[in-house]
Structure 1
Amino acid sequence: MSLPVEAVAALDAFQAVGSWEQRARMLMQWGERLPPLADEDKVDANLVQGCESLVWLVGRLEDGHWQFVASSDARMIRGLVALLLARVNGLSTAELQTVDLSDWFAQLGLSRQLSPSRSNGLNAVLQRMRALSPTQN
């Protein structure tokens, strides 16, 4: 499966830096690039369960391709969610079901830095995306 354009850009950027400090800085920058979520979208119905931090997620299907927007109260999580969105935005429902989260963050060189709770939280976000997808086909 080919990667979305944003995912290729993320891979290129993260594979170009060597140290964890540089990756951490870049992670924060990706989080800052997330468009702000409208206040009316920051409701309990859009809150992802299973995250230690607050993460809101909204998704819509456009011409057979998913577009998700998300926000978090935690800077590091915002960056990780931004990278997850880069990987999944533009995918079809079938493609979304096959995304391998651990493989994606390994490719980015970030998997060692994902604590179990962050990893669980990101998995919860991906599961929420997958839960949204069959209902809106």
Structure 2
Amino acid sequence: MATEAFEEIVEDFEFLEDWEDRYRYVIEQGKAMDPLDDALKVPATKVDGCASQVWLHPSINDGIFSFDGDSDAMIVRGLIAVLRKLYNGLPVTQVLAVDARAEFERLGLNEHLSSQRSNGLRAMIERVRLVAAEN
């Protein structure tokens, strides 16, 4: 159950045969994302379990989930952008139904991320799920 924006990434990945091109694509997604306001880079938005600095700032408006985020690592910033396309715009009641690991497997990202990056990605997904579960 992925959003239309995430499905576009899946389609784009199908045309990118080389993993280096896919890696660059993820980084470009992160570069295209607006930076998170420094005032939101506080301990409450920091994600533990990531090797790099990661902040996620979720919001729920009229039952619709979204989040902004940032990282000091370019590939992680790209992963945040991909996660945003997976979750942003969903009704908060549907966020927990998303199998993010399975969706990322469709991109082949799981097998190309270092163990530290994979742990960080899991931590970001868990933060999203936690916020959704609380609402």
Judge same fold: TM > 0.5, yes or no. yes
Q: TM-score range by the shorter chain?
A: over 0.9
Q: Look up the match of 1:51.
A: 50
Shift in Å, 1:134:
3.3
Equivalences, count: 135
Q: Look up the match of 1:106.
A: 105
| 32-41 or 107-116, larger mean C-alpha shift | 107-116
- What is the percentage of aligned positions where both structures have the same residue? 38
- The RMSD of aligned alpha carbons is 1.3
For 1:108 and 1:62, the matched residues in 2 are separated by 29
Shift in Å, 1:5:
2.1
Segments of 4+ moved more than 4 angstroms? none
1:31-65 deviation digits (Å, cap 9, x = unpaired): 10111101110111110011111100001112211
Whether 1:18 aligns to 2:36 is: no
Mark the runs of 5 or more structure 2 residues left unpaired by the alignment: none
| 35-44 or 91-100, larger mean C-alpha shift | 91-100
For 2:41 and 2:31, the matched residues in 1 are separated by 17
Q: Look up the match of 1:30.
A: 29
Shift in Å, 1:101:
2.5
Mapped contact 2:30–2:81 kept (Cα < 8 A): yes
The aligned amino acid for 1:128 is: R
Q: Look up the match of 2:69.
A: 70
The aligned amino acid for 1:32 is: K
Give TM-score scaled by structure 1 length. Answer: 0.91
The aligned amino acid for 1:50 is: G
For 2:122 and 2:98, the matched residues in 1 are separated by 11
The aligned amino acid for 1:133 is: A
Mark the runs of 5 or more structure 1 residues left unpaired by the alignment: none
